[in-house]
Amino acid sequence: MRGLIIDYAGVLEGPAADAESWKLLLSELRMNGIGIAVLTNIDSFDVPADLARWKETGYVDEIVLSSEIGVEKPDFEAFYAACRALGEDHKDCVCVDDSIENIHAAVRAGLIGVLYTAYDRTEAELRPLFNLH
């Protein structure tokens, strides 16, 4: 796997999110050459300042807003656009989202899907997918 596509609301931000742990994991992934994109259905007029900081501080490579690409998750094209933003084939990408509908769509689109319910569980699933020990 060469790319990680991650949702913002409910995963990186929200009551069940663990932002500090995510920052450590995302840094480790990037140090191992993994491209990371946030894919969110947040409207470009409502982008929270915290979202932009994930890219500004170097935790993610790209932020892909559905409102800017013209399609929303769970449309397959939204996932493909995020993969293209990273320069990766969709078959080499993992999608993390807190919506089972989006995970089903990502898997049907050819990505590996990881349903986010808690940070520790998600990290345990991601580490072997990216050969992190």
Share of residues in the chain with pLDDT > 70 (%): 100
- 85-104 as b/e, with b when 16 or more CB fall inside 10 Å? bbebebebbbbbbbbeebbe
The rounded percent of the chain whose pLDDT value lies above 90 is: 89
Whether pTM exceeds 0.75: yes
pLDDT for the residue 49: 86
So what's the pLDDT on residue 46?
79
47 to each of 38, 54, 58, 122, how far by Cα in Å?
12, 12, 18, 25
